């Protein structure tokens, strides 16, 4: 596994120069500060279909609606209805409504699964506003799903548990580039969605852009599945495209994203 980590780090060394212009001044490399900007569109290509999302915000920088297009089909509007008095959010996608409980900072702390709110997926954050735990509540008890380790503002480990909430299924270990993740691109997938994580709804994302990850699978200790990331940048040093090349039990895979931003 250690050998695999070294291999994947070496695979991205050639990209180091591309990140020098996108690192913060506090990195000591003399790079310019990447300006934060609200994400306008995301286009995702998994090799089978292309799906895109266009985001619209209110004056508090909260997402209010999304135009979603799947593989050239008709646009679907996803709407967000905030109930500030109840600290709740209702997201409506094609008539399917999901209710979320929000904390005082507007982050999701529960995604309700049932109408009576007796079962949910829950989220916990550290004092800096980054997600550290995900759990599922059913049968009257919490079942730990993910345990996240944050170091220097970056999620370095995403530990996934079996349904019993105690047996480790996988420890996904992340390494990072020197490039700033100023617009909060979601890369860890503790919340498996391309669009729900936008605008801090699930807390702050990692400060830097992911370089690679390796999957330490409990039942498959001899495997070395993982992925490396490559990027291109726009004229303001914001991520324009992101490409992930990886391996899994199903073989090699490639996924790519393209981003545009609102101009202030």
In this prediction, residue 2 carries a pLDDT of 38
Q: How far apart are CA 178 and CA 23, in angstroms?
A: 6
Nearest to 227 by CA among 194, 257, 258, 187: 187
Which stretches in the chain have pLDDT values below 50? 1-31
Domain CATH for 225: 2.40.160.190
In this prediction, residue 33 carries a pLDDT of 73
In this prediction, residue 22 carries a pLDDT of 47
Q: How far apart are CA 35 and CA 28, in angstroms?
A: 17
In this prediction, residue 41 carries a pLDDT of 98
In this prediction, residue 21 carries a pLDDT of 40
Task: Provide the number of structural domains found in the chain.
Answer: 1
Q: How far apart are CA 95 and CA 79, in angstroms?
A: 10
Print the SS3 string covering 44-101: EECCCCEEEEEEEECCCCCEEEEEEEECCCCCEEEEEEEECCCCEEEEEECCEEEEEE
In this prediction, residue 35 carries a pLDDT of 81
Entry pTM: 0.88
Domain limits at 79? 2-261
């Amino acid at each position: 596994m250690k050998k695999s980590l070294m291999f994947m780090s070496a695979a991205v060394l050639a990209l180091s120069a591309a990140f020098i212009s996108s690192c913060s001044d506090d990195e000591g490399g003399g790079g310019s500060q990447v300006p934060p900007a609200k994400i306008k569109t995301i286009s995702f290509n998994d090799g089978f279909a292309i799906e895109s999302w266009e985001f619209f915000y209110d004056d508090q920088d909260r997402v209010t609606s999304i135009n979603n297009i799947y593989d050239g089909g008709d646009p679907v509007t996803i709407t967000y209805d905030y109930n500030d008095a109840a600290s709740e959010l209702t997201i409506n996608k094609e008539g399917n409504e999901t209710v979320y409980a929000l904390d005082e900072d507007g982050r999701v702390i529960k995604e309700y699964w049932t109408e009576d709110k007796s079962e949910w997926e829950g989220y916990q954050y550290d004092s800096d506003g980054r997600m550290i735990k995900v759990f599922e509540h059913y049968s009257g008890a919490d079942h730990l799903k993910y345990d996240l380790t944050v170091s220097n503002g970056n999620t370095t480990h995403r530990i996934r548990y079996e349904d019993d909430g105690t047996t480790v299924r996988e420890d996904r270990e992340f390494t990072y580039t020197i490039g700033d993740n100023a617009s909060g691109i979601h890369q860890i997938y503790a919340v498996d969605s391309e669009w729900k994580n936008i605008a801090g709804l699930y807390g702050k994302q990692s400060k830097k852009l992911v370089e690679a990850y390796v999957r330490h699978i409990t039942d498959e200790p001899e495997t070395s599945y993982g992925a490396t990331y490559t990027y291109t940048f726009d004229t303001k040093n914001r991520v324009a495209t992101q490409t992930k090349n990886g391996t899994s039990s199903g073989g090699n895979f490639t996924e790519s994203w393209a981003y545009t931003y609102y101009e202030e």
